[in-house]
A and B are shown apart, each in its own frame.
Chain A
Amino acid sequence: MMAERAARSTPAPLALRMRGLSDRAIAWLFIAPTMLLLLAINIFPLIWTVRLSFTNFRANRPNAEIVGVGIDHYVAILTDPDVWGPMQATAHFLFWTILLQTLIGFTLAYLIDRKFRGHGFWTTLILIPMMLSPAVVGNFWAFLYQPQIGLFNYIVSFATGIAPSSFEMLGSVKLAPWSIIIVDTWMWTPYVMLICLAGLRSIPDYIYEAAEVDRASAWRQFWSITLPMVLPFIMLAVLFRGIENFKMFDLVNLLTNGGPGSTTEVVSITLKREAFEKWRTGYSSALAIILFVAVFGLANIYVKALNAVKNR
């Protein structure tokens, strides 16, 4: 009796209610719009870009004959010093921003995790830069770096005694790359801190209690418990920031526009110039594919390393 009542109250499978469609077909029906959208805005442009990269197509010359050029664009890019320069600038920017953001971000997270009085307020305050628009940050820092009226130069002058207008952060070949690194670090360290904080908060207290019982020193606890357990989170933050900074465009565009000369011309600026200023669509497609493969390949290797660390 009970079993019969239970059977009646159980809803019939969806497929029975929608006659002629299996559960699998209905599942496909639901995900089809998303899949189509992804195909339209991600996969199709990617395939199209690959095809364009083997042609001389220029989007600004619709009437010109389109000729296949084989792998010429790829060869030209990989042997062109004007591309390797921006690649080096990107690598320099990537290395230092990730290093600084990881070190400072983890240190801040470690301090915030101590749960001192007012730590909530300080956490909110530290997070403000990453909530700002890059356009605002770029313009704001361009003013701060102005040698005659900028606050940054006056602070450096106050600390070191150097005349404020005696150095130019954005106009000097030596300082311009660092000016962008400083801004990116200021803006995105809170993001790394947040991920590290999540990692630190995920370590169960009983592990530290057990270590205390075993009379492990604070240093020993840090090296044997904290760092290994938070490492996957740090690696994740590095992955996110690495991918983001490989594509860095907005801050560089606003602060230096790639200058002085080509000193801070990161590869995304080169790509934009080739694609939308010089209108070399075929060439820029090849460059975009090379960058995509590089990021995708490196990210895959990195994710494997991340999984290895997690499974230790």
Chain B
Amino acid sequence: MNALLRKLPAFAAIAATGVLSLGSTAAQAQGKTITLCWAAWDPANALVELSKDFTAKSGVNMKFEFVPWPNFADRMLNELNSKGKLCDLIIGDSQWIGGAAESGHYVKLNDFFAKEGIKMSDFMPATVLGYSEWPKGTPNYWALPAMGDALGWTYRKDWFAKPELRAEFKKTYSRELEAPKTWTEFKQVAEFFSGRMIDGKKVYGTYLFTERGSEGITMGVSNVLYPMGFKYQDPKKPYAMDGYVNSADAIKGLEFYKSLYKCCTPPGLTNSYMGEGLDAFKSGQVAMMMNWFAFFPGLYKDPNVGGEKIGFFVNPSDKTTGSQLGGQGISVVAYSPNRAESLAYIKWFATPEVQKKWWALGGYSCHKAVLQDPGFKKSAPFAAEFLTAMDQVVDFWADPSYAQLLLAEQKRIHDFVVADKGTAKEALDGLLADWKKVFKEDGKMK
């Protein structure tokens, strides 16, 4: 039975290949075409533009398969698990790296990097750790850092600049109304704006992630938990989580996130992620919005809220600093029949010139040649904040069981923050129990 179980995905792959090959025959007849899979969002459009240079240089045509974020993980992980050949290259989420490496979905790139002279030391350390390595902290590379990202903040600079609001804020809090640097300041600003009428419209202090289905609320709450002292495990003893996941700091952080959600977010945003945040900000509902840096170039160009009206700030600090890591690395899918062309794309993408153009088009390069350029900080209004954020990023688990770990946190946090179920301590104790169960099943804990 075991042998038969193992063969099932192969049968599915053969069937899928048969169907897919019907569609790809015509394209292949005119020259090699490789397909790059990613999420459907602003940076993907920039990559389409950038990849035209690759086609011009190599003669290899590029095809793109972009899936909206809410379905991205389901769609792509199904594709990988069924050993499908839809994608030659994939820009997969950072948390997939463990599972994809252990299941053999990604091609290990060490030999290729050595042969082509691609050095991981040319990329920001946090991005190499987050997007390329598995096991973490070891020189085993499964992806090239492609799109650096972290959670950051935008704010309505034009509202913050209103003299009457500045005067009132100063009178109340004895300081200037500026972009907050600590969570205490953040809450004061959020409370100050909540329920206020601005330009004839009722506005709210902030937008927070609350999405239940995939990863939204976990990403959002982590941005508060990290600076408040939450840790996934004992830094000296992997998978020892007691007293870290449910520490007093973590409890305080979770209670704080809930208090922000209750006091200062617009009504109805109980299951909201990136898109809803952009809508809330663009429609002038909120003074500050949590979102990924990836969206900031687009927001800056927005005719209604961009330009001089918008400002950016890095995640506030508390006991320490910390920002939730986003972003992805680019990998070659092990089942691709076009491995040579896919590797050629990665070789081309890793060059400093291409990386500079990638940043100029709206992608977030992870290459030191771009990020350590003296002019980088002033190259965009959010560039300096991005650099600071990338220096303090923390990522979620990247183990093969990341999805189970993530869904457990989604449930526990949403239950407490949105559904008012139990206390913060109960939520984190429950989460700890869930995570222990997963790691025990995986044989990583006794």
Contact = CB atoms under 8 A, between A and B. Distances in A.
Contacts of B65: none
Interface string B264-276: 0011111100000
A119 interface: no
For chain B, the bracket of interface size reads: 35 or more
A260 B116 CA distance: 51
Given A261-B411, A261-B418, A261-B421, A148 B270 contact: no
A241 interface: no
B6 interface: yes
Contacts of B81: 59-60, 62, 279
Nearest to A259: B212
A173 B422 CA distance: 13
A65 B73 CA distance: 24
A171 B270 contact: yes
A258 B5 contact: no
B138 to A, nearest CB: 19
Contact of B271 (A66, A147, A173, A259): A259
Contacts, number: 103
Interface in A31-75: 51-52, 55, 57, 59-63, 65-66
A59 B83 CA distance: 11
A276 B78 contact: yes
Given A63-B103, A260-B212, A280-B404, A171 B5 contact: no
A262 interface: yes
B367 interface: no
B74 A57 contact: no
A51 B74 CA distance: 25
Contacts of A170: 268, 270-271
Contact of B414 (A55, A147, A148, A260): A260
B213 A257 contact: yes
B191 interface: no
Interface in A259-277: 259-263, 273, 276-277
A150 B267 CA distance: 12
B74 A277 contact: yes
A62 B81 CA distance: 8
Interface string A3-22: 00000000000000000000
A256 B271 contact: yes
A96 B324 CA distance: 42
Interface in B50-97: 73-74, 77-78, 81, 83
Contact of A260 (B6, B73, B74, B270): B270
Contacts of B99: 60-61
B403 interface: yes
B186 to A, nearest CB: 23
Contacts of B178: none
A168 B415 contact: no
Contact of B420 (A173, A277, A280): A173
Given A59-B81, A60-B77, A277-B74, A148 B407 contact: no
B271 to A, nearest CB: 5
A28 B404 CA distance: 48
Given A259-B414, A263-B419, A62 B212 contact: no
Nearest to B405: A278
B400 interface: yes
Contacts of A171: 267-271, 418
Contacts of A52: 5
A235 to B, nearest CB: 36
A278 B266 contact: no
Contacts of A65: 2
A277 B411 CA distance: 13
A102 interface: no
B9 interface: yes
A267 to B, nearest CB: 15
B125 interface: no
A224 interface: no
B135 interface: no
A244 B77 CA distance: 29
Nearest to B404: A278
Contacts of B266: 148
Interface in A171-202: 171, 173
Contacts of A262: 411, 414-415, 419
Interface in A54-108: 55, 57, 59-63, 65-66, 82
Nearest to A276: B74
- For the complex of A and B, the 10 pairs showing the least CB-CB separation, nearest first, are A261-B419, A171-B270, A261-B415, A259-B212, A147-B268, A257-B213, A260-B419, A260-B418, A278-B404, A147-B267
11 contacts: A61-B99, A171-B271, A258-B212, A259-B271, A259-B418, A260-B414, A260-B419, A261-B419, A262-B419, A277-B74, A278-B403
